[in-house]
């Protein structure tokens, strides 16, 4: 794909659309800095210009212009992505949705809400909780990530295990296509058998098919009660095996998170809190149960204990206060930051059928031994979604750059052989792109590329991602 | 689209693929009869040949042959569809999936099952219930419809209100494309952010993009307890209004069905049972609550009563025994058959945000008065999904054929103006095809047609449906 550069004439055209306050050029070094990276490894790409439109109409005009002039556009939410989706790898224009940040309406009669894509996930969650409503998807970055980004990557988070991922809450979206056309994808209804599912085609398309400008979410009643427990295991694979057993006992926890020993140690160190972890504890499960009725939760907890009795577990900590619960969650949510702060790393977002987790974990460690890398594993075990953080530590640059990719390939091949795939909630983006052929066959790739061509005939939207 | 006819040479080629026992020609009048219709109105189309392949490989060879020779193929499940999707409107080949009828595996460790498309929905439900597992989608025709057809139409049913529709339980599918290529659409995982969502693109595509040959479903633990109540209302619109209020009170029933007075009367007459319905009762809500704990269900029921107290309701019947529950459900499930047996009819599968139901119902009756048609309304009110059965009764053929379509247009325009759309769970198929432009704009239609072209360049698969 041959693109044109952002000339002064292009800047002028963009400026006429968004206004001078809403454009950033590379000479504004400080203002530009945050647009050169997302949360993916230590990657940096400098765009030629950043524009911050305020609505679908401005985005439509920008898209039309760039479509006609073959200028690449990289859409960007909060820049918290972990697969490099918001990086301007072909330079050109970064289109930030940060000014589309309104909660347009919360419709309590229909349990729906209409929002713009630049609303922070947690802000939205708190706004609906005030009305007794619940928007469950909660990626670890929920305090800073945008709903539009969550949709683009089909984000999950701990509650997905009971409540589903972001895609399961979208009823309808307004999108601007790369050609500049504005359309809704569906209708504001819970069931829709009217034509192909454009809504779900757009969700998880990583900003390559269109830019989301409005979202209609469904909401559910807020479950007022919950119960959180931290279960220490003396064997990592046993912790993984227990996950599947809990579901088989008829319990659907609202979260079921796995953390390797190092994940907890690094997170507690990062947060500067003392954690007294016996030496023989190699992993933890963080289990949350939620619902309307506390008595029922205690009954469910009893059933969970009965499952856990069959394993070699340490003393189970049940969080009694809201503070204790918040602390446990804080610990879990900080694992990613902790690993990141500790070393250069790569994060793989593997996912397998949940009962295959022990095999995945064992395989990852064996592959690590073979390729001489250390990994810290944690994640949404209830979904079979294991985040594998490979830390550079004292690996040589040569091994890191040239040998490690073969190790990653082996991990991904293992996932696929177990019925899984290479990304559960982070997307393919830039960094998993070399591995897409492990997960998708030639037929699938042909269909994906055909769909891309249909939506974006000039290939201007987020080029260099997915395939 | 210009297609070729099924010549003796074509029959020979198909026969070589499926074998002589698995092919039906028009001269076999009796054997052919069932393939000339589905459950849509009184429509009849005679195909040139019916083939009954047994696996993906045979289907692939049939598709390849028909693709190369421009011969239309209409895929067919159990033929219980309500939008004419299985009708051979361009003649050619009917490809029946009836021999792909195996439950391949029920994986209790992962709460997944792999099935072929020709498995009857209820057979599958009962097979997983035996293992304490639950496959919730239950269209009214569940005793005879196929899972493959459920997927093709994105079918729902009463439990969708709490548990979601068929699409929400599919993890992965094996499909044969019109070109004969065989591929899986995703992976056997609960979360997948690896490329565009081909699985959800295929679901609800009404057999126009490919033929499903294997399905991996997710399952959930079976909720062992439930409670069913029948609530009579003296005002139909109040019944609709109560629906939204129940959710606003924080209750998510496992079913919330609406039936007009005539719906109950016709169904009870059809089933030959006596129902003593006071004259002032104009509608009913059938409410089911389910879960693990009976005490909690009684608490929820109390909250439902508190909502209902605000309306002018008759005596609430709470089904105490399994027999009573089954009878109530039997009544509800027979409304469609009852209407069908009573008169020529058309069924519209409207859907709106649930709080807009009273407006929809009022509008339908006003439009009926204007165009002089009688309607019997019932359906999945919790989802905002209202089935409008328009009965011919004593309408003239001229009014039925020429005036009524304008009335249907008005109903659909009303749905869309309320944020809804023209099909919730039956699909567009043949009979809603003239109305698709009311629900979808030019941009959407261009994308849909582009996707169709990408998957099926010769347009051989289920031509004449959707658009």
Whether pLDDT at A130 is above 80 = yes
pLDDT at residue number A306: 96
Nearest to A419 among B187, B351, B419 (CB): B187
pLDDT at residue number A344: 85
Whether pLDDT at B431 is above 90 = yes
Whether pLDDT at B433 is above 80 = yes
Task: Report the side by side order of strands in the sheet with B283-291.
Answer: B317-319, B225-233, B283-291, B255-260, B374-380, B385-391, B345-351
Kindly determine whether residue B419 and residue A444, on different chains, have CB atoms separated by under 8 Å.
Answer: no
Whether pLDDT at A83 is above 80 = yes
pLDDT at residue number A325: 95
- The residue in chain A having the minimum alpha-carbon distance to the alpha carbon of residue B224 is A250
Nearest to A352 among B189, B204, B467 (CB): B189
Kindly determine whether residue B188 and residue A419, on different chains, have CB atoms separated by under 8 Å.
Answer: yes
Which tens digit of pLDDT belongs to each residue from B226-250?
A: 999 999 999 999 999 999 999 999 9
pLDDT at residue number B270: 92
Query: In terms of C-beta density within 10 A (0-12 exposed, 13-18 middle, 19 or more buried), how is residue B314 classed?
Result: middle
Question: Lowest-confidence range among A77-91, A453-467, B194-208, B390-404?
Answer: B390-404
Nearest to B221 among A244, A252, A448 (CB): A252
Kindly determine whether residue B424 and residue A193, on different chains, have CB atoms separated by under 8 Å.
Answer: yes
Kindly determine whether residue B187 and residue A444, on different chains, have CB atoms separated by under 8 Å.
Answer: no
Tell me the pLDDT of chain A averaged across its residues.
96
Which residues of chain A have a CB within 8 Å of the CB of B189? 351-353, 383-385, 419-421, 424
Distance (Å) from the C-alpha of residue A112 to the closest C-alpha of chain B?
9
pLDDT at residue number B1: 66
Residue A343 or B95, more confident:
B95
Whether pLDDT at A379 is above 70 = yes
Mean pLDDT of A292-311: 94
Residue B187: pLDDT band (50, 70, 90) is very high
Distance (Å) from the C-alpha of residue A192 to the closest C-alpha of chain B?
4
pLDDT at residue number A54: 98
Identify whether the C-beta of residue A463 lies closer than 8 Å to the C-beta of residue A452: no
Nearest to A196 among B187, B194, B448 (CB): B448
Kindly determine whether residue B450 and residue A448, on different chains, have CB atoms separated by under 8 Å.
Answer: no
Q: Which of A306, A272, A287, A393 is nearest to A342 (CA)?
A: A393
Mean pLDDT of B65-81: 98
Whether pLDDT at A72 is above 90 = yes
Distance (Å) from the C-alpha of residue B447 to the closest C-alpha of chain A?
7
Nearest to B195 among A112, A355, A436 (CB): A436
Which residues of chain B have a CB within 8 Å of the CB of A448? 195-196, 198
Identify whether the C-beta of residue A391 lies closer than 8 Å to the C-beta of residue A375: yes
Q: Which residue has the tokens 């069932």?
A: B34
- The residue in chain A having the minimum alpha-carbon distance to the alpha carbon of residue B208 is A196
Which residues of chain A have a CB within 8 Å of the CB of B214? none
Which tens digit of pLDDT belongs to each residue from A210-250?
A: 999 999 999 999 999 999 999 999 999 999 999 999 999 99
Kindly determine whether residue B420 and residue A188, on different chains, have CB atoms separated by under 8 Å.
Answer: yes
Identify whether the C-beta of residue A461 lies closer than 8 Å to the C-beta of residue A210: yes
- The residue in chain A having the minimum alpha-carbon distance to the alpha carbon of residue B249 is A221
Which tens digit of pLDDT belongs to each residue from B341-396?
A: 878 889 999 999 999 999 999 999 999 999 999 999 999 999 999 999 999 888 99
> Would you say how long chain A is, in residues?
467
Kindly determine whether residue B425 and residue A191, on different chains, have CB atoms separated by under 8 Å.
Answer: yes
Domains in chain B, ordered, with CATH? 8-97 (3.30.43.10), 103-221 (3.30.465.10), 225-336 (3.30.70.2190), 343-443 (3.30.70.2740)
pLDDT at residue number B337: 87
Question: Lowest-confidence range among B117-126, B243-252, B455-464?
Answer: B243-252
Mean pLDDT of A368-394: 94
> Would you say how long chain B is, in residues?
467
Whether pLDDT at A1 is above 80 = no
Q: Which of B203, B461, B216, B455 is nearest to A198 (CA)?
A: B203
Q: Which of A109, A102, A170 is nearest to A136 (CA)?
A: A170
Identify whether the C-beta of residue A248 lies closer than 8 Å to the C-beta of residue A353: no
ipTM over 0.90: yes
């Amino acid at each position: 794909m041959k693109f044109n550069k952002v000339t002064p004439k292009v800047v002028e055209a963009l400026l006429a659309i968004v206004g001078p306050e809403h454009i950033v050029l590379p000479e504004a070094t400080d203002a530009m800095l945050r647009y050169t990276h997302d949360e993916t490894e230590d990657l940096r790409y400098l765009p030629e210009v950043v524009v911050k439109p305020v609505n679908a109409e401005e985005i439509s005009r920008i898209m039309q212009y760039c479509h006609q002039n073959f200028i690449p556009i990289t859409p960007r939410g909060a820049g918290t992505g972990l697969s490099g989706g918001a990086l301007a790898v072909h330079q050109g224009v970064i289109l930030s949705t940060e000014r589309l940040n309104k909660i347009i309406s919360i419709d309590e009669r229909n349990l729906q809400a209409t929002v713009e894509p630049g609303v922070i996930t947690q802000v939205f969650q708190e706004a609906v909780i005030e009305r007794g409503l619940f928007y469950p998807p909660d990626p670890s970055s929920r305090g800073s990530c945008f709903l539009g980004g969550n949709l683009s990557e089909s984000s999950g988070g701990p509650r997905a295990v009971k409540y589903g991922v972001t895609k399961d809450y979208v009823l309808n979206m307004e999108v601007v296509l790369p050609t500049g056309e504005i359309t809704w994808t569906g209708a504001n209804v819970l069931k829709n058998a009217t034509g192909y599912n454009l809504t779900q085609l757009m969700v998880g398309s990583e900003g390559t098919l269109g830019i989301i400008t409005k979202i209609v979410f469904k909401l559910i009643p807020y479950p007022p009660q919950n119960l959180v427990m931290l279960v220490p295991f003396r064997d990592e694979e046993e912790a993984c095996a227990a996950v599947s057993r809990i579901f088989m006992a008829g319990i659907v926890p609202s979260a079921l998170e796995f953390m390797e020993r190092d994940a907890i140690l690094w997170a507690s160190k990062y947060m500067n809190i003392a954690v007294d972890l016996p030496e023989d504890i190699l992993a933890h499960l963080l289990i949350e149960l939620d619902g309307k009725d506390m008595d029922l939760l205690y009954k469910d907890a009893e059933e969970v204990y009965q499952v856990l009795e069959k394993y070699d577990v340490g003393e189970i900590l049940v969080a009694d206060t809201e503070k204790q619960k918040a602390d446990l969650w804080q610990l879990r949510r900080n694992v990613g930051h902790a690993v990141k702060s500790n070393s250069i790393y790569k994060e793989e977002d593997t996912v397998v059928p949940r009962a295959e987790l022990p095999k995945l974990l064992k395989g990852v460690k064996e592959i690590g031994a073979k390729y001489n890398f250390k990994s810290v594993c944690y994640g949404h075990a209830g979904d079979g979604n294991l985040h594998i953080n490979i830390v550079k530590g004292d690996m040589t640059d040569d091994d890191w750059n040239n040998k490690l990719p073969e190790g990653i390939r082996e991990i991904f091949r293992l996932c696929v052989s177990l019925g899984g795939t290479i990304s559960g909630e982070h997307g393919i983006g830039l960094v998993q792109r070399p591995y897409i052929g492990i997960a998708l066959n030639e037929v699938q790739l042909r269909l994906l590329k055909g769909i891309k061509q249909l939506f974006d005939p000039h290939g201007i939207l987020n080029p260099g991602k997915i395939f």
